[in-house]
Amino acid sequence: MMIQRTVCFSSLRKLLHHPACVSSSSSKIGAYNGYASQPSSSLPLPLPSYNGEEYANVDWDSLGFGLMPTDYMYINKCSAGQNFRNGQLSRYGHIELSPSAGVLNYGQGLFEGTKAYRKENGKLLLFRPEQNAIRMKNGAERMCMISPSIDQFVDALKETVLANKRWVPPPGKGSLYLRPLLLGTGPVLGLAPSPEYTFLIYASPVRNYFKEGSAPINLYVEEDYDRASRRGTGSVKTISNYAPVLMAQIRAKSRGFSDVLYLDSATKKNLEEVSSCNIFIAKDKYILTPATNGTILAGITRKSVIEIARDHDYQVEERGVTVDELIEADEVFCTGTAVGVAPVGSVTYRDKRVEYISGSGTICQELNSTLLGIQTGIIEDKNGWVTEIN
């Protein structure tokens, strides 16, 4: 049994800076090499106090995209037929699950991904968190799950960021990646919705997703495996969509590619997605991206890039995009919370390698600079996308 301290958001600011609070960890990044998670504390612990130390002891210049456990995670539970109520902050660690939990037996689970950024003045920002909440709510409906309200979701993100404030990288050094999970944790034997659900958020400081860093990536067009099929769950951020892409991804990486670009399962002629991000192609002032027609995830970064591009007088179309159009494009780039706006240097299709322009002066670079500027508070947010955490 896990005994946790309940912390309401309104009192969190005072607790974080109370002189009686003691920072729980001064571990360096090296302490997490080969990290194995520890059980959550069974006793209430004080929330972290920074005592004048603004950051955790991390080599921010060496930050990549890997798990670096922070101090606290957020947990909220709900039984079937009820609604989520007040959640709790707990020390980061193991959670207990029944062997017959719905998420373990039938894959009844969803996840989200978003980031917190630090401004030059030290204030912390979230980017369109309500969109993640809406997407989780839509996914929960498709997966027959109970979900937190939009306000509960956003407030939980804020609590998690504030509790792990010292792990938010300095400006320009990365972001605090937040992973909300919605899991069917109640016991089931026969195929049925779980009788209990857990909403959980953990965090990790991150920087570049691909090993290439900000350099262009190289994609392989996959024809042997499908990512999603019509009338399936390709448009839902369910956990069961991601493990199936590993085989094709591992095979592509063993051949020197960064990732896999999938085609539609019906005709094998139209682009769908990369393993965990959306795809765009550009030529002159025209930008194309596959329409979210039920097999493609409606990415929040994708949505934002489309709006930014239109504001910059690009003509953006959301429709079926063929392999032939991909081959004829001037630029190709990917979008996602983890990757941002990532340039594609080449795509290999049936052993034919096509190269694309990248670097300074490209559409990709323009859109990425604008998006990141808004996310980090450098560029004025005229759309109300940024939420400041007070």
Q: Are residues 159 and 236 both part of a single domain?
A: no
* 165 given a catalytic annotation: no
Q: Which of 123, 137, 237, 253 is catalytic?
A: 237
Instruction: Report the C-alpha gap between 95 and 153 in whole angstroms.
Output: 20
Q: Are residues 341 and 249 both part of a single domain?
A: yes
Residue 1 counted as domain residue:
no
Residue 34 counted as domain residue:
no
Q: Are residues 261 and 334 both part of a single domain?
A: yes
Cβ atoms of 302 and 335 within 8 Å: the answer is yes
- List the domain range (segments joined by +) for residue 300: 217-376
Residue 12 counted as domain residue:
no
Residue 48 counted as domain residue:
no
Cβ atoms of 127 and 335 within 8 Å: the answer is no
Cβ atoms of 184 and 113 within 8 Å: the answer is no
Residue 38 counted as domain residue:
no
In total, how many domains does the chain have?
2
Domain finish residue from 176, 207, 238? 207
The pLDDT tens digits of the residues spanning 142-184 come to 999 999 999 999 999 999 999 999 999 999 999 999 999 999 9
* Site of tokens 């659900």: 197
What's the whole-number mean pLDDT along residues 305-318? Answer: 98
302 is written with which tokens?
């994708």
- H runs (alpha helix) in the chain: 9-17, 102-106, 129-142, 150-163, 246-254, 300-311, 323-328, 363-375
Query: Count of residues for the chain?
Result: 390
The pLDDT tens digits of the residues spanning 329-370 come to 999 999 999 999 999 999 999 999 999 999 999 999 999 999
Q: Are residues 226 and 284 both part of a single domain?
A: yes
Cβ atoms of 110 and 143 within 8 Å: the answer is yes
Residue 34 has pLDDT above 70, yes or no: no
Of the given ranges (211-225, 233-247, 362-376), which has the lowest mean pLDDT?
Answer: 211-225
Q: Are residues 231 and 192 both part of a single domain?
A: no
Q: Are residues 265 and 161 both part of a single domain?
A: no
What local confidence, expressed as pLDDT, does residue 366 receive?
97
